[in-house]
Structure 1
Amino acid sequence: MTDIGAERTAEIATRVEAFVRDVVIPYEADSRRDHHGCPTDELVHELRDKARLAGVLTPHILANGNHLSQRETAIVLQKSGLSPLGPIAVNTAAPDEGNMYLLGKVGSPELKQRFLAPLVEGRARSAFFMTEPATDNGAGSDPSMMQTTAVLDGNHWVVNGRKAFITGAQGAKVGIVMAKSSDGACMFLVDLPDPAIRIERVPNTIDNSMPGGHAVVTINQLRIPADQMLGKSGEGFEYAQIRLAPARLSHCMRWFGACVRANEIASDYANRRQAFGKPLIDHEGVGFMLAENIIELKQSELMIDWCASVLDTGARGTVESSMTKISVSEALMRIADRCVQIMGGTGVTDDTIVEQVFREVRAFRIYDGPTEVHKWSLAKKIKRDWKKSHA
């Protein structure tokens, strides 16, 4: 990161942090939520209007369309995560952030104008249709199990299948749909809503920070013009890999910020709350938990920066992002758990956002690949490397 880049990034991050702390955090008590407690689009647009006026909307993409480096993005997204509402307010939330990154990298000028511009402007939300229901024996942690099909019919592709846990599908305006042709995986851009894509249900989940929840959808005879395919037939997994590591890492960035905030709240509580004749923090059982939190926060910050620096070289970063996802998600889970424990009964209520951070981070241990899948992948690499060294 150059001196100029570092100075610019620090300035952006400072403005994002101020906006989240001063403007967004008061909205955490706003009652505009859907049936499961997810923010409504009315609330999202109100927050984004304020972010736009404050000059902090989509802060990781510059006015000239250039994307900040991954190290720079980490600094900014960590600040946006200080509130569960922060990423959607300043437009750094999943899945939009990852979808914007992918389209910025591989979209044609025409596709960027039609599908990317509304996302960058914060006037539309998107959904990434890849995961499929376990009941269909479809793609989950193993994308090669994809059952959704794409068949060429003239100058259109016809897609059929079911998808599950599709974040933000309800209310999205832009969709990226993955399906399998005779050549292999394909990736398509579609306008939403579309009558061929029907939301079956939006299940209640442990987390509720993302607008639209995580829907189960049926795709029935969806006709997509051939020029709305990203790349060529069979190249879908290649494009998914472009999105994968940066999107996985940005989850670490955002939830790092959330745990910084949870730790702030728990630390304030421990210093104010009296028990057995002294503040809680003076009891080693509590003070040591807070000490462990700041240690693991620093370790997580360094892991994120290390992985981001690898991605900034142009490397795929698959191994590094797996290692970081494991390390950071597990550390943040321990941090959030300690914050709840320190605050006792208050920690399990919605009087603060600590209990929500705990729920959200618990889900994060699964999203973008469960810890066990990443460890399995790393173990396979260890075995491959051993075989090479002993050939």
Structure 2
Amino acid sequence: MDFAFDARTEELRAKLLAFMDEYVYPAEAVAEQQRDRLASPWDTPAVVEELKAEARSQGLWNLFLPDAEYGAGLTNLQYAPLAEITGRSPQLAPTALNCAAPDTGNMEVLSQFGDEQQKKQWLEPLLAGEIRSAFAMTEPEVASSDATNITTHIERDGDEYVVTGRKWYISGAMNPDCKIFIVMGKTDPDGEDIRRQQSMILVPRDTPGVTVERAMRVFGYEDHSHGGHAEVIFDHARVPASNLVGEEGGGFAIAQARLGPGRIHHCMRLIGMAERAIELMCRRAVSRDAFGKALAQQGVVHNWIADARVTVEQLRLLVLKTAWLMDTVGNRGAHTEIQSIKIATPRAVVDIIDRAIQLHGAGGVSQDFPLAELYAGARTLMIADGPDEVHQRSLARRELKKYL
């Protein structure tokens, strides 16, 4: 098995690492200062637009999209180490490269399932980084870990669909540049096949009947990197029938197609978050003394750092194997590995970041270091894109099936 990156990946890695050092890391503090002076906390700091312009000029743009017609044409295996690098600064780097969720998944949906008009109206400006988007599936009134539970109605009325429902934790919806929602709801709530009841439809943000009710915080943080999370009300919002994505009853399958790449992208970035935590842990350990010697000389600190390094190396190999399988046998063929990394990666990275916080003492939970925010993001991914328990259930069933 060849573990070396190919020439294109190495070239892009070198370029991206230099971009991070020269532009992204210095911009972290600048973005925070600018955000404090914005009229709305959801407005985009000027430095983010500067980063986007620089990234695009360097060809570091839409790296996530394997379709060469719309994106960089990279395989999952080529993109994995690049996504890892962006995970070291999750609040800025993915957005700077136009590789931030939920836009990535929405662009994948539109490129695969959208018609020509939908692509022209919504995909093209998303690819250009001119607008943002949101994906509206999760609901507060039902257990959304089972996507068949959703209650939002999408009812046909002549040449229109009428959308009625309540969604929450809708990523991207607080950003004023968010212009379009991809909404999942039921067009056939009484259908015999529970996986054919759902459809997806495009609902422009300015549609009458659409209300962004409030921002939803995550561990007290307002997640600016994703354009915030919101509770959104759809009160008999009418859109043209041509806004349906794909066919009626195809929503569940589209959601699964969307979530597969999203899950691996999150795991790739999580490894970058872990690497940032290890770096901060080591820098802290060699710069602080306690009880007469450097923290770096304390045995427990040795254990934390060594365990973190072993864990990251294991996770990276599993993520790269999963990316390779997705490229060679498809998402369905990589189902076991996708679920494995979705279970293992957030859990392990949360533990690594937790140790880094402990080593930083009070500083670890403060705004002076990125660790608390990294922790909130990593811990959330034990729920997002399907909670751990759902993936464990599915994975165990697949294993047991061999013996039944």
TM-score, shorter chain, exceeding 0.5: yes
2:84 aligned counterpart, secondary structure: helix
Does 1:385 pair with 2:398? no
- Structure 1 stretches of 4+ with a deviation exceeding 6 A read 1-5
Distance 1:46 1:193, change over 3 A: farther
Per the TM alignment, residue 250 of structure 1 is displaced from its structure 2 partner at its CA by 0.6
Which residue matches 1:348?
365
Q: Is the 8 A contact 1:32 1:40 kept in 2?
A: no
Gapped regions of structure 2 (runs ≥ 5): 192-196
**Paired position in structure 1 for 2:35:** 33
Match of 2:308 in 1: 293
**What's the offset of the Cα at 1:235?**
0.9
Partner of 2:16: 16
Post-superposition shift, 1:373? 2.1
Provide the residue aligned with 1:131 in structure 2: 138
Give 1:357's aligned residue.
Answer: 374
Counterpart-to-counterpart distance in 2, 1:319 and 1:195: 43
- The alignment status of 1:58 with 2:62, answered yes or no, reads yes
* Partner residue in 1 for 2:170: 166
The 5 Å alignment of 1:213-292 reads: 213-292=228-307
Match of 2:182 in 1: 176
Contact 1:167 1:210 in 2 (8 A): no
The corresponding residue for 1:335 is 352
| Whole-angstrom distance in 1 between the partners of 2:34 and 2:226 | 11
- The corresponding residue for 2:198 is 185
With normalisation by structure 1, the TM-score equals: 0.91
Residue among 108, 117, 140 paired with 1:110: 117
Q: Which amino acid aligns with 2:399?
A: I
Contact 1:17 1:80 survives alignment (8 Å) = no
1:90 maps to what in 2? Answer: 97
| C-alpha separation in 1, matches of 2:43 and 2:295 | 38
State the number of aligned residues. Answer: 383
* 1:190–1:91 distance in 2 versus 1, CA, 3 Å: same
Q: TM-score, normalised by structure 2?
A: 0.88
| Cα root mean square deviation, aligned | 2.4
- The more displaced of 371-380 and 279-288 is 371-380
Report the counterpart of residue 72 of structure 1 in structure 2: 78
Percent identity, aligned pairs only, is 36
Runs of 5+ in structure 1 lacking a partner?
none
**Could you tell which deviates more after superposition, 169-178 or 54-63?**
54-63
Give the CA deviation at 1:74.
0.9
Shift of 1:277: 3.1
Give 2:113's aligned amino acid.
Answer: V
SS at match of 1:147: coil
AA matched with 2:289: Q
Note closer, same or farther for the CA distance 1:25–1:126 as it changes in structure 2 (3 Å cut).
Answer: same
Q: What residue in structure 2 maps to residue 147 of structure 1?
A: 151
Cα distance in 2 for partners of 1:274, 1:173 equals: 51
Q: 1:40 is paired with a residue of what secondary structure?
A: coil
Q: Does structure 1 retain, via aligned residues, the 8 Å contact 2:207–2:238?
A: no
Structure 1 residues 211 and 27 mapped into 2: Cα distance closer, same or farther (>3 Å)? same
SS of corresponding position for 2:145: coil
